[in-house]
Amino acid sequence: MVKRGFTVTAPAFLLLEDGSIFSGNAFGFSTQEIGEVVFNTTMTGYQEVLTDPSYSGQIVVLTYPLVGNYGINDQHSESGRAQVSGFVVREQCETPSNGTSTETLHEFLVSQQIAGIYGVDTRAITKRLRSQGVMMGVLTHGPIDAAKRALGSATRYDDVDFIKVVTTNKEYRWGVLAGDKVARYRVLVYDYGLKYNILRLLESRGCEVLVVPAETPAKEMLNANIDGILLSPGPGDPLLLDYLVENTKTLLGQIPIMGICLGHQIAARALGAKTFKLKFGHRGGNHPVKDLDTGRIFITSQNHGYAIDASTLDDGCKVSHVNLNDNTVEGLIHSQIPLISIQYHSEASPGPRDNEYMFDRFLGLMEAHKIGKGGM
């Protein structure tokens, strides 16, 4: 049975590095956490957000006002634990109403040792981040003065390699094909901070999936019996990840590759492109992206703070998707090597599922490579 309700009278504070202080009520685990403060505009899917490894090192502000109304369940986590540094909401629900709920949002945050704050003006926080850009902050259930000192001496988000925090420490296989069904393709997934739904969607398409740590040498993987490689999403600044870029250079042109989010940025960097930081990032489930091949516009799920500089792409690279809000690069293909990559999250979770077709394109890329056609 789910415990219903709790009483919280303790104050909590969110302090931003520009000196702003937002006061509210404490919920979740009583602690102090520092991170880059970002906002997400999705209306549902808070459990998926909380457990998305791409949020490692970040304090997440949800713009939708009511959070926790359907509780926490066993089906919607995108990793084995909560990944955010802190959680900021306008109103949190103490009495969820959903038959699959096993615990409240508050109970989940306590069990995961994540600090939360509610009763704050999330609109004001979001407007500040949009106007000033994302910035470091501290969420505290304790004294403000101590929190200020901690924030002043904290390591900046852009200076931390979070891949070493979130990647698996050993390889593992995902799922078992039903009965005597033979796998259509064998796919290796580099775990930079992957979401489980990527693995679910590959499995549902008949793929046998092997997940490996981010630093697994490319030469070892090329000697394995695999049909394609997926470079997963993940947290942090791609400029810190030269070791992943060098590893990917060895893979390019040798085997079909799909990159998602950070994996897309790593593939682009391996081809010589540069990346830059966005002012406040793209995080939510309502970002319009145009597929330049078909002309169709899709509403996409996104979670990234960096983008590719289109002017630095090599001659073989072609932009395949663009963001209609700011014209940033949302996808790439290559004329000479079997590669597709996308900045947005085709696996959603949370967000619209319209973009799962990109996994079908990846399967098509592997099939073409198998029969000797190669390329797109």
Active site members = 261, 345, 347
H or E segment at 119? none
Question: From residue 339, how far is each of 75, 138, 320 by CA, in Å?
Answer: 32, 40, 11
DSSP 8-class letter at 175: -
**Tokens 């924030």 sit at which residue?**
151
Please give the DSSP secondary-structure letter assigned to residue 205. Answer: T
CA dihedral 296, 298, 304, 309 (to 10 degrees): 10
Q: In whole angstroms, what is the distance from residue 187 CA to residue 173 CA?
A: 10
Taking a C-beta distance cutoff of 8 angstroms, is the pair 296, 290 a contact?
A: yes
In three-state secondary structure terms, 187 is: strand
Query: ω before 96 within 30° of 0 (cis)?
Result: no
Residues present in the chain in total: 376
Residue 153 C-alpha from the chain's centroid: 27
